[in-house]
């Protein structure tokens, strides 16, 4: 069973993702911000990460993705960035794709079937 880490500061979003992913047969662990996620990643090495952008800081999720990219032990873990930043005043701060080390990008609200399709694709 693949282990998926959901990183988001919104407990309702985390719980929704947990239900969707567990119903699809995945094990789910979670973290509420970037610092906690890095601790969980090092301790439990998930197979895939679902990562929000704005948490304890404006670009917390982007900082996590960069740190993972720079870490040879964890750089191959696929990342699905899920965020609502496009609908905020901060959208212009989001860097271009060449600077973002993610494997898929989804905008909230996320449709469960689209999330599962991305997860299956990345874990195949």
Chain segment 19-35, per-residue pLDDT in tens: 999 999 999 999 999 99
pLDDT digits (tens, 9 = 90+) for 84-116: 755 555 555 555 555 667 899 898 889 999 999
CA–CA distance, 120 with 59 (Å, rounded to integer) = 27
Identify whether the C-beta of residue 58 lies closer than 8 Å to the C-beta of residue 89: no
**Model confidence, pTM:** 0.88
Half-sphere exposure of 57 (CA within 13 A, CB side): 9
Domain that holds residue 10: 3-123
What are 45-60's pLDDT values in tens digits?
A: 999 999 998 787 767 7
pLDDT at site 84: 74
Q: Residue 24's domain is classified under what CATH number?
A: 3.40.50.2300
Peptide bond between residue 109 and the one before it cis (omega within 30 degrees of 0) = yes
Q: Count the Cβ atoms, other than its own, within 10 Å of residue 65.
A: 22
Q: How many domains does the chain have?
A: 1
């Amino acid at each position: 069973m693949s282990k998926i880490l959901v990183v988001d500061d919104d407990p309702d979003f985390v719980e929704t993702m947990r239900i969707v992913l567990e119903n699809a047969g995945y094990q789910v662990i979670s973290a509420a911000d970037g610092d906690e996620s890095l601790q969980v990643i090092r301790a439990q090495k998930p197979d895939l990460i679902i990562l929000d952008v704005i948490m304890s800081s404006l670009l917390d999720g982007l900082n996590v993705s960069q740190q993972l990219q720079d870490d040879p032990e964890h750089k191959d873990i696929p990342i699905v960035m899920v965020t609502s930043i496009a609908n905020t005043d901060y959208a212009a701060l989001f860097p271009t794709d060449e600077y973002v080390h993610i494997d898929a990008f989804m905008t909230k609200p996320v449709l469960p079937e689209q999330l599962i399709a991305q997860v299956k694709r990345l874990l195949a």
